Structure 1
Amino acid sequence: MRRGTIASLLAALVAALILVFQPFPASATPSDHPHGAPWTGTWEAAASGTVAQLPGQSVRNVIHTSVPGRAARIRLSNRLGTAPLELGSVTVAVQESGAPKSPNAVPGSVRTVTFHGSATTRVPAGRDAVSDPVPLRVPPDANLLVSLYTPADSGPATYHRSALQTSFIAPDGDHTADQDGAPYTTTTGSWYYLTGVDVLGAPAAGSVVALGDSITDGSGSTSSANHRWPDRLAARLRTLPPRERLGVLNAGIAGNRVLLDGTGPSALTRLDADVLSRAGVRALVVMEGINDIKGSPNQTDPAAFEAAYREIVARAHARGIRVVGGTITPYGGNGGWTAPREAVRQSVNDLIRYGGVFDAVVDFDAVVRDPAAPDRILPDYDSGDHLHFNDTGLRAMADAVDLDSLTGKDSR
């Protein structure tokens, strides 16, 4: 009996070790990343559309980390493509310090990224890929260079259009392993194929995803400065003890909607890919709806928003994720504003504040509106189009988030 008990315990231990150390599959699904996994999301970009492919060229994506780790894992996407994506090589490195617009890597930091042990990979159309662990010390609050070489035309390239970050293209061959960025003679304001970076052993309790539109994507902020409101939120979280700290994943897409596909899949359509399948997600901040209200066809029924928000919350709760609702900010003075649309915004905001849909609420509207004209943004926060925010306004938004609301500490 005792031998049987010991044998059972050993078998359970072996099974647990296999589960922890087995490589993640190339095509990630939500079930591949259970809550409590050792990986934490440090950066994300949501796939927003497609653009012409770059056959025979290398692209060096520049991205900014929110939490550190002792190893990295790269997420690539051919989600919106129509043909298999062939990647001849992929590398990750740390960008040289103090040079956010440089293609140069820190000496000795370039690492080859593999997929099931291979330096090349093929991603089927409509699928994502997650790399093997890459042994690289990832610093917090720093830029990484994720470089990809596409040897042949693989059809339309899945990308994130509005990166607000200078990245680089080498037009003549495979330069992914180059430490010196001299071959990267062309710049781009988009991220190609890259949709996420996870880190292993982060001093954090998990991650929080910001699901939104252009305001979350950072439109109006200073390019290559990481002044989007989720960036500022990450800076605040880094001051907390590790048990309360969270990585921050920005799933904003400029032009995105809650209810309808258009610029990128709708928030409902992309929830699995951009939120629920991410590593270690503990909280979700939803701040989206303005494009549904002012876009064409514009949505006029607050009940449709309520149904969508409740579906998002239910699906997140099924994964143990808390959901914070963000009120929709003013846009009076913008060309899309009308009095009937403003009435819809006010109704939806009342739903967010008082409808009991979310676990907590961050009242972005109250923080940024002009007291003298509540349908407008405070002039000091306005980027100039009366819809998007400058760096100061985005900082005010991030500072409005109650950090305890992200972990549920506010409810204890």
Structure 2
Amino acid sequence: MGWTTVWSHAQRGIAHHCASKGTVQLTLRQIVPAKKIRLVFKNEYGTQKQKIQNLSFKTNEKSEMIPDFTIDPGEIVKTASILIDPKAEKWQICFHVSTSESGFSYEDADIFTGAREMDFCSGLMAIEAEITGQCVVAFGDSLTEGATWTAPLQRSLRKQNIYLVNQGINGSCLLKSNSDISTKDSQNFFYGYSGVQRLKNCLNSHCNVEKVIIFIGINDLINGELTLESFQVEIEKMIQLCERYNVAYQLCTLTPCLGYLEMNEAKEVLRKEINTWLIRNFDDLWDFSTIVEGTQGCLKRTFDSGDHLHFNAIAGLAIARQISSDFVKGE
């Protein structure tokens, strides 16, 4: 038994999308019936010290207050172990944050909706539990962050003491750090760091990671910035990073999106070339494209959320069932 990351959400630079300070209140579904957990805070994109005050964690009638602390830019801070009620169906976290330059939106399959003082959750990055189990990281962009396939897979794998954590960021690119505004400042990287940097940060901050699912590159393709060679170079770097950390990896093919704004036939040809390279060269591969593709280059109509790129819940379930069966078979 040891410390394992059982829940996390990828941080991003929050740019102009959040108030500068405020109170964070989160209510999560019980992740695992553990007796001890600890909270992981990070100031991944911030350029100022971040002060965390009045931090509390409550399960049923059991509540603990954690002493105030500060987080330097780029620093990871883990709280001391917190005793919780393993029978509690909800976990409640509350704290005040002094500055907000790094965080995530509250949209998460495990977080109950509610009124918010801030648009983003700043500071908190992960929850670790003292359990027997392992962490699997789902690393990607909006096709991952949207949780259509990660949420049902999480529910399935948790029964096997495998804790899938969602590390998707909408708009995230493989090749470069990116934002919705012109910037070179990390706190404004609304779509996160480039793929290799993000993955390195993730492996440094998560505990007991067994495998990384790598599903990224579609934004670079749509933006017209991807080539087969650049995709190959960056994927090889990510594989080398996983091997350096002694973590298994699972690559995924790029899914079809003809009909989406700025996608065209030339880019579709490149998508096929990339997928052919992946299929020919890697055994540790999930062919998402085959699962969701209907008319050549397009999502199946029954799997399309409406924009011809993002999956709906039916598509997510189809993907999750395939991946879940592979985990069960030990593939």
| Sequence identity (%) | 21
Q: 2: CA distance between counterparts of 1:302 and 1:85?
A: 41
1:259 aligned to 2:183?
Answer: no
Q: 1: CA distance between counterparts of 2:86 and 2:119?
A: 23
Residue correspondence of structure 1 range 94-243 to structure 2 within 5 A:
94=59, 106=60, 108-113=61-66, 119-138=67-86, 143-150=90-97, 153-154=98-99, 156-161=100-105, 163-164=107-108, 186=116, 190-202=120-132, 204=133, 206-218=134-146, 228-240=148-160
Q: CA deviation at 1:77?
A: 1.8
* Paired position in structure 2 for 1:81: 46
Q: 1:311 to 1:63 in 2, by over 3 A?
A: farther
Kindly provide the amino acid, as one letter, of the partner of residue 385 in structure 1.
D
Contact 1:79 1:127 in 2 (8 A): yes
Kindly provide the amino acid, as one letter, of the partner of residue 312 in structure 2.
N
Which sections of structure 2, spanning at least 5 residues, go unmatched? 179-190
Kindly provide the amino acid, as one letter, of the partner of residue 132 in structure 1.
A
Kindly provide the amino acid, as one letter, of the partner of residue 157 in structure 2.
L
- RMSD between superposed Cα atoms in Å: 2.4
* Paired position in structure 1 for 2:184: none
Q: 1: CA distance between counterparts of 2:158 and 2:45?
A: 34
Per-residue CA deviations over 1:22-48 (Å, capped at 9, x if unaligned) read xxxxxxxxxxxxxxx811111111111
Contact 2:23 2:117 in 1 (8 A): no
Contact 2:26 2:92 in 1 (8 A): yes
Contact 1:284 1:324 in 2 (8 A): yes
* Equivalent position SS for 2:297: strand
1:362 aligned to 2:283?
Answer: no
Kindly provide the amino acid, as one letter, of the partner of residue 125 in structure 1.
P
* Paired position in structure 1 for 2:264: 338
Contact 1:48 1:158 in 2 (8 A): yes
| Larger Rg belongs to | 1
Per-residue CA deviations over 1:240-293 (Å, capped at 9, x if unaligned) read 4xxxx3111111001101111111111211112223431110011001110010
Q: CA deviation at 1:167?
A: 5.2
Which sections of structure 1, spanning at least 5 residues, go unmatched? 1-36, 95-105, 114-118, 169-184, 219-226
Q: CA deviation at 1:161?
A: 3.2
Residue 45 of structure 1 is aligned with which of 9, 12, 18?
A: 9
Contact 2:23 2:118 in 1 (8 A): no
* Equivalent position SS for 2:241: helix
Kindly provide the amino acid, as one letter, of the partner of residue 194 in structure 1.
L
Query: Number of aligned pairs?
Result: 315
Q: 1:317 to 1:186 in 2, by over 3 A?
A: closer
| TM-score, length of structure 1 as denominator length | 0.71
Contact 1:324 1:405 in 2 (8 A): no
Contact 2:45 2:102 in 1 (8 A): yes
* Paired position in structure 2 for 1:182: none
Q: 2: CA distance between counterparts of 1:329 and 1:139?
A: 40
Contact 2:148 2:312 in 1 (8 A): no
1 or 2, which has the higher strand percentage?
Answer: 2
* Equivalent position SS for 1:389: coil
Contact 1:49 1:161 in 2 (8 A): no
